[in-house]
Amino acid sequence: MPVDRLVIAIDGPSGSGKSTTARAVARRLGLSYLDTGAMYRAVAVAFLDAGVRPDDTAAVIAATSGAVIELSLDPDESWVRVNGRDVTEQIREPRTAQNVSAVSTIPECRADLVRRQRALMDADPRGCVAEGRDITTVVYPDADVRVLLTASPEARLRRRAGDMAGKLTEEQLRDQVLRRDRDDSKLVEFQTAAEGVHLLDTSDMTPAEVVDAITSLAEEAHP
């Protein structure tokens, strides 16, 4: 890989602002952008549409290993295909969010998708900004910049409510934000910054301030 590549890994719980931040940082620095959560959601759509129960671990593993996942790495575009079918809208539906932990909490599924994520991050010679839950620790622990975004539960719920524009009930909102974090934390530690990872509490920061902070870290690491 070229020595001047820049790789930025951003982790955080739901509603911490990592997707908005990562996309904006990639756009500013001219890098590719990888939403790893979209890959888990795409598999969830695939197994649900195939009639697979979320508690059928073997079938979920088979659906993951057999899934052909394509997604945009352009921060100015957003599309996801699984097995040749566009699922860009479906991956954001409440049904998908409620069942995506069936993929993310199975070690075999995570290992499969981690391998693919690393390959996608290596695909652009300029570098990549990737966001998820285990990018700083598992997918790309050797990234030039590693950041863990956090925010208070109140701030995270408020942001997700704004993102969904009234599409979720209060119960669905709490399930999507807090329950998913609780489920995923059984397998991946994304609440505490690992050694060498910058911790950034975004509760009282504007999106622009968060982007500026990470861009500054990138400039320090890659002058």
Residue 186 counted as an annotated binding residue: no
Sign (positive or negative) of CA dihedral 185, 127, 123, 144: negative
167 known member of a binding site: no
Residue 104 among known ligand-binding residues: no
Would you say 13 is a known binding-site residue? yes
166 is in an annotated binding site: no
Of residues 188, 179, 184, 214, the one with CA closest to residue 199:
214
User: Quick check: 100 and 80 in contact, CB under 8 A?
Assistant: no
Question: Any known ligand binding at 17?
Answer: yes
Residue with token string 């996608």: 120
Residue 51 annotated as part of some ligand binding site? no
Rg (CA), the chain: 17
Q: Is 66 part of any known ligand binding site?
A: no
Write out 112-141 in H/E/C secondary structure.
Answer: HHHHHHHHHHCCCCCEEEEEECCHHHHHCC
- The secondary structure element, H or E, covering residue 150 is strand 145-150
Q: Any binding-site annotation on 12?
A: yes
Name the E strands within 29-120: 32-35, 69-71, 80-82, 85-86
Mapping DSSP to helix (H, G, I), strand (E, B) and coil, where does residue 96 land?
A: helix
Q: Which of the 8 DSSP states describes residue 135? A: I
Alpha-carbon 213 to chain mean position: 19
Please state the residue numbers annotated as binding site for ATP: 12-20
Please state the residue numbers annotated as binding site: 12-20
